[in-house]
Amino acid sequence: MKLVTFAVGGREAVGLVAPDDEAGVLDLAPVVGERSLLEVIENWDRLGPRIAEARDLRRVERPTLRAPMPTPRRDLFAVGKNYREHVAEFGRSGYDTPQRSEDVPDKPIVFSKATTSVTGPYDDIEAHRSVTSELDYEAELAVIIGRGGRGISRDEAMRHVWGYTIVDDVTARDVQRDHKQWLLGKSLDTHAPMGPWAVTADEIPDLDALEVSSTVNGEPRQKAPVADLIFDVPELIRVISAGMTLLPGDVIATGTPAGVGIGFDPPRFLGPGDVVECAITGLGAIRNTVR
């Protein structure tokens, strides 16, 4: 199933992408009431089967898609330097501080993006010209946690995955570099476009086969299979949950492949008017314009 959060006429609600038409959104209110997607995921054991069995749902006229979780329950988890060629381009760029390195990390680098950075799949990315002059894009597979837990083993990890979505881990490179710790450079408002759908894990039988890609103004920039992840999804869940409880609805952006703006010499940063599209096989595409 592909679920969305949509807005129409001042109402925000959870919808189901029509099985026979990806452009169609069916209103799930008869099944889930006024619950948010986060609340639907928290009650998935009960609501999932009811959604799967629902018939004669009303089609929503002209819905505006929001991020699947417009306000996540807490900051997004994100992973740095998790594709080999991106590790190399980041190391070469000189933006990797304080320990500049082209070596593959021996443990996952986990940071966070503020909830307030989340924006919709087709919304604008604010340029924040007073804060940054080095805006960059990062197409990423994001995991949505279903069942929470602590001390989750690799073997158990995939049972805790509810589904997947796409996140553009938009980054202010100068802020990321200058403040050493990445939170500020990763968390400017609108710098986590997400969506277009939240896709349940059962729709993705072979995660490794998915391909992550991005374009800027139609020009191909990034392209890599999820199989290229240095630390795969079970390992990320194992590491993050080792001493911290993962919660239903938690989002983990798993890292970005090579081809970001700082990978070019000279770097190719984003500016107003640029259109960034991030796509993943089976998960759709998000498209955002810098303003």
Phi-psi region of 56 (alpha: psi -120 to 50; beta: other; left: phi over 0): left
**46 CB contacts (<8 Å, ≥6 apart)?**
none
Choice between 60 and 172, CB closer to Mg ion: 172
Q: Closest separation between CB of residue 163 and Mg ion, Å?
A: 20
Phi and psi of 92, rounded to 5°? -60, -35
By beta-carbon distance, which residue lies closest to Mg ion?
169
Output the CA torsion 265→178→213→161 (10° steps): 160
CB 64 within 8 A of CB 7: yes
How far apart CA 214 and CA 276 sit, in angstroms, is 7
| Contact region with Mg ion (CB under 5 A), list: 14-22, 88-96, 165-173, 267-275 | 165-173
Tell me if 87 sits within 8 A of 81, measured CB to CB: yes
Dihedral sign from CA coordinates of 231, 203, 111, 264 = positive
Does residue 254 bind Mg ion (CB under 5 A)?
no
- Buried (b) or exposed (e) across 92-111, using 16+ Cβ within 10 A? ebebbeeeeeeeeeeebebb
Residue 256 contacts Mg ion per CB under 5 A: yes
Q: Which of 168, 169, 228, 232 binds Mg ion (CB under 5 A)?
A: 169
Rounded least distance, CB 12 to Mg ion, Å: 27
- Among 23-31, 64-72, 134-142, 175-183, which window interacts with Mg ion (CB under 5 A)? 134-142
Does residue number 138 form part of the binding site for Mg ion (CB under 5 A)? yes
Interface characters, 213-252, with Mg ion (x: CB under 5 A): ----------------------------------------
- What contacts 181, CB < 8 A, 6 or more positions away? 111
Question: Which of 26, 237 has the CB closer to Mg ion?
Answer: 237
Q: Which is nearer to Mg ion, 162 or 182 (CB)?
A: 182
Stretch 38-67 residues interacting with Mg ion (CB under 5 A): none
Report which DSSP code applies to 61: S
> Site for Mg ion (CB under 5 A): how many residues?
3
Give the shortest CB-213-to-Mg ion separation in angstroms. 15
Binding marks (x or -) toward Mg ion, 82..121, rule CB under 5 A?
Answer: ----------------------------------------
Q: Which stretch binds Mg ion (CB under 5 A): 97-105, 106-114, 196-204, 256-264?
A: 256-264
HSE (side-chain half, CA atoms, 13 Å) at 174:
11
As measured in angstroms, the least distance from the Cβ of 160 to Mg ion is: 22
What is the SS3 string spanning 36-47?
Answer: CHHHHHHCHHHH
The stretch near Mg ion (CB under 5 A) out of 67-75, 133-141, 159-167, 244-252 is 133-141
Give the interface with Mg ion as residue ranges (CB under 5 A): 138, 169, 256
